[in-house]
Structure 1
Amino acid sequence: MPRLFLHLTSAAAWILLALCYSTGLLNAGEFNTTINIHDDAPAWANLPGTDDQLHSLDDLKDKKVVVVAFTCSSCPYAVDAEDRLIAMQQKFAASEVAVVAINVNKVEEDLMPAMKQRAKEKKFNFPYLFDESQQIAKAFGAKYTPEFFVLDENRKIVYMGSLDDSPDGKNVTEPHVIRAIEAVLAGNKPTITETVPIGCRIRFERNLRNRSR
């Protein structure tokens, strides 16, 4: 039983433990309040891409590693990560690694027309997908752009958090995502499995309740 419960009475401890399970607190990661390392990755299906095709996680069955990057076109942190994402896909082009970028923001500067323009300008070498429902980001517990998840061959989450230790890409000393990829390809577990994502808040729509008068 976690240390939190050691100083409580037995009954109180079990009540608190039950509450933690019911709210998902014991299933969440250190920095992610929804999902944890070694959990099954949430699957997406039929998300439109800037290539005018529909994309699903099942399309990547032949890949040993899938990198999911929640990003957008309006956040400077996300824009600063684009060149590193392109370079990362190039680095592992001969390996069974797929990078997938997903945007869920619904402001005008992040809608599909802007996404297509950005993908064309930067010559993205990975799919750039849009989820109008925003559900895939919620399922992953993603809250920032950019925010990254590395999935192994069994589609378990083995790393989540920031791309590296440099939000603007300068003076990178800890390339977290690349090291996680290399560890999985070598049949090992990443040494670092979770870091704090740094970026702009994902713009989730607020569901306002209809108040009856």
Structure 2
Amino acid sequence: MAQTPSNMLPLGTKAPSFYLKDTISNSFLDYNDCKGKKGTLVFFICNHCPFVHHVMDEIIRIANDYRVQGIGFVAISSNDVEKYPMDSPALMYDFAFKNHFEFPYLYDESQDVAKAYDAACTPDFYLFDNQDKLVYRGQLDDSRPANGIPLSGSDLRSAIDGVVSNRTINPEQKPSIGCNIKWK
């Protein structure tokens, strides 16, 4: 299992815009449709990655905990579905349904959005404040498949707490680690 780290887009970067098809609602959404009143978490995932499977329950808990506090959530899959058909939009819908997504799961067929975010792996997390400025990019926590560290979501939760409470977020952030995005 390859371990690819995040590229760590510079803090303060304005959220790159997008207009992508939501595999759940079958409608097209842009960043403004997905953003929250206090901030927005954009994260890159896919259906088959063992790193994503490892953290999915915690991602769902985080989304459920913070949506009501004004944080918007949007998942994006940018993998090449020609070479990785298990990441197709139809199977994205199934994955979202199975995991009880209460947020959009967008398909980035051109991979332009992943490139705009400088996404490198799945999962890859980008937290923006209410001004759409990047305040956190990095790992969920120190847990990885088979490393024995329990999931807590501590790194991402701490950053989201900072956005919700309008506090400064520590700029020392650890990159996420996961499977590489499957580029065309």
After TM superposition, the score normalised by the length of structure 2 is 0.87
Query: In structure 2, what is the Cα distance between the partners aligned to 1:34 and 1:173?
Result: 21
Q: Does 1:176 align with 2:155?
A: yes
1:188 corresponds to 2:167:
yes
Shift of 1:94: 1.9
More strand, by proportion:
2
Q: Give how far 1:62 is off.
A: 4.9
**SS of equivalent to 1:120:** helix
- Aligned structure 1 segments of 4 or more residues deviating by more than 6 angstroms: none
Tell me, yes or no, if the aligned pair for 2:20 and 2:29 is still in contact at 8 Å.
yes
**2:140 corresponding residue in structure 1:** 163
Query: In structure 2, what is the Cα distance between the partners aligned to 1:178 and 1:33?
Result: 20
Q: Tell me what 1:121 maps to.
A: 98
Residue 167 of structure 1, CA deviation:
2.1
Q: Does 1:56 align with 2:38?
A: no
User: Separation in 1 of the partners of 2:24 and 2:174?
Assistant: 29
- The AA in structure 2 aligned to 1:73 is N
Output aligned runs, 1:57-96, within 5 Å: 57-60=31-34, 62-96=36-70
User: Would the aligned equivalents of 2:20 and 2:108 in 1 still touch at CA under 8 Å?
Assistant: no
SS of equivalent to 2:68: coil
Q: How does 1:125-136 map to 2 (within 5 A)?
A: 125-136=102-113
Contact 2:46–2:52 (Cα < 8 Å) also in 1: yes
- The percentage of aligned residue pairs carrying the same residue is 30
Structure 2 CA distance for partners of 1:53 and 1:174, relative to 1, 3 Å: closer
In 1, the alpha carbon distance for the partners of 2:27 and 2:78 equals 17
5+ residue gaps, structure 1, are 1-30, 206-213
Is 1:104 the counterpart of 2:78? The answer is: yes
Query: 1:35, CA displacement in angstroms?
Result: 2.8
Which structure: larger Rg? 1
How much does 1:79 deviate?
Answer: 1.4
- Structure 2 residue matching 1:125: 3-state secondary structure: coil
Match of 2:24, SS? Answer: coil
Describe the shift of the 1:202–1:32 C-alpha distance in structure 2 as closer, same or farther (beyond 3 A): closer
Partners of 1:146 and 1:111 in 2: CA distance? 17
**Given the superposition, is the C-alpha separation of residues 47 and 173 from structure 1 closer, same or farther in structure 2, using an over 3 Å criterion?**
closer
Q: How many residues align?
A: 175
Tell me: CA distance 1:170–1:50, structure 2 relative to 1, closer, same or farther (3 Å).
farther
Partner Cα separation in structure 2 for residue 174 and residue 85 of structure 1: 8
How far apart are the structure 2 equivalents of 1:76 and 1:95?
Answer: 29
The CA RMSD measured in Å over matched residues stands at 2.0
The aligned residue for residue 14 of structure 2 is 40
Shift of residue 32, structure 1, vs aligned partner: 5.7
Instruction: Please report the TM-score for the alignment, with normalisation by the length of structure 1.
Output: 0.76
